[in-house]
Amino acid sequence: MTTAESLHRRRQIVSVAALSLATLATVFGLVWLVWILGTTFFQGLGALNVKLFTEMTPPPGQSGGLLNAFFGSFVMVLMAVVIGSPIGIAAGTFLAEYARGSRLGEVIRFVNDILLSAPSIVIGLFIYELVVRQAGHFSAYAGGFALAFILLPVVVRTTDEMLRLVPDVMREAALSLGIPRWKMINHVLYRAAKAGILTGVLLAIARISGETAPLLFTALNNQYWTSSLAEPMANIPVVIFQYAMSPYDAWHTLAWAGAFVMTLFVLALSIISRTILNPRKSDNA
């Protein structure tokens, strides 16, 4: 009796201890989140001022802003969206509508998922070989291509998933009216899955806005204003990298300011897209 009781007590204690450890692990994870975001916001807020959006990146020892870098990032992200999302949506459509259950579809989905997690630096090297080396110089469009390749798998995957969520009844209803398949996809499926597909693009934008590694070898950096896509172009992530690694305090401050704006943008975008994507999941998962 006593041994059974002590065994029972021991098991209870082990259970409580293990679950407490699990709780501690969660606290541990949240501490890092608060620490990292706290540092970024605290340092970034102190460095914010209007000059950030009105002046160019300064040479060492002078004050300035990040206008050309913001512009460059905007241009390259826009290029990536314009190039990458149509291809991504089309590829996702193929997977969901034409390759369902086929071996080919499985292979493409598999490859896409690997691209999704593949190191972004590798994409940078790929575009370097493909574009920069052929053209002979670094350029903004190379940066845009590199970002498009990172955006692509995210859009493919969400489009595929969202289209598969559309009930088959809708497809059958449209087809039974004699509407050709491409019209059915364009006018019925895309409309039904619009919010989901858009969310995929937003998530992808959030992802590429902070990408640094691929831009190091493609768009490089530019201290001056340029709107020519054939020239190296400044962009926020590379400027942050360069300035944070520099020995100048003024550059560090600018880097924090850039980091603050970028983080705010990226997190806002990913929170917004998550809430559009599944408003219900946040309650019970």
Return the residues of window 16-35 that contact another protein according to CB under 8 A: 16, 18-19, 21-26, 28-30, 32-33, 35
Rule CB under 8 A: is residue 156 a binding residue for another protein?
yes
Query: Residue 266, interface with another protein (CB under 8 A)?
Result: yes
Site string for another protein, 235-254 (x = CB under 8 A): --x--xx--xx------x--
Q: How many C-beta atoms lie closer than 10 Å to residue 271's C-beta?
A: 11
Q: Is 267 in the site for another protein (CB under 8 A)?
A: yes
- Give min distance, CB of 227 to another protein, in A: 23
Cα dihedral 92, 117, 234, 39 sign: positive
Region 34-93 residues binding another protein, contact defined as CB under 8 A: 35-37, 39-40, 43, 86-88, 90-91, 93
Residue 147 to residues 20, 28, 91, 169, 272, Cα–Cα distance (Å): 43, 33, 17, 37, 21
Site residues for another protein, window 91-130 (CB under 8 A)? Answer: 91, 93-95, 97-99, 107-108, 110-115, 117-123, 125-126, 128-130
Q: Which residue from 147, 204, 206, 219 is in contact with another protein, where contact means CB under 8 A? A: 206
Taking the complex as a whole, how short is the minimal distance between the CB of residue 2 and another protein, in angstroms?
A: 18
Identify the residue among 7, 14, 165, 195 touching another protein (CB under 8 A).
14
CA-nearest of 198, 130, 126, 122 to 158 is: 198
H/E stretch holding 141: helix 140-165
Residue 174 in contact with residue 184, Cβ under 8 Å? yes
Judged by beta carbon, residue 71 or residue 128, the one nearer another protein is 128
**193 part of the interface to another protein, by CB under 8 A:** no
The residue among 71 and 97 lying less far from another protein, judged by its C-beta, is: 97
Cα-Cα-Cα-Cα torsion 261, 262, 263, 268, nearest 10 degrees, comes to 90
154 makes contact with another protein (CB under 8 A): no
For residues 241 and 238, give the distance between their C-alpha atoms in angstroms, rounded to a whole number: 5
The nearest distance, CB 29 to another protein, in angstroms, is: 5
- In this complex, which beta carbon is closest to another protein, that of residue 133 or of residue 194? 133
283 counts as binding another protein under rule CB under 8 A: yes
Shortest distance (Å) from residue 263 CB to another protein: 6
Q: How many residues does the chain have?
A: 285
- Of 54 and 111, which has the nearer Cβ to another protein? 111
Encoded tokens for 224:
């001056």
277 binds another protein (CB under 8 A): no
Residue 202 sits in the site that holds another protein (CB under 8 A): no
Residue 274: which residues within 8 A CB-CB, separation 6 or more? 282
Chosen residue from 71, 141, 251, 256 binding another protein by CB under 8 A: 256
Alpha helices, DSSP H only, in 48-139? 51-54, 67-93, 103-117, 120-127, 133-135
Secondary structure (DSSP) of 236-268: HHHHHHHHHHSS-HHHHHHHHHHHHHHHHHHHH
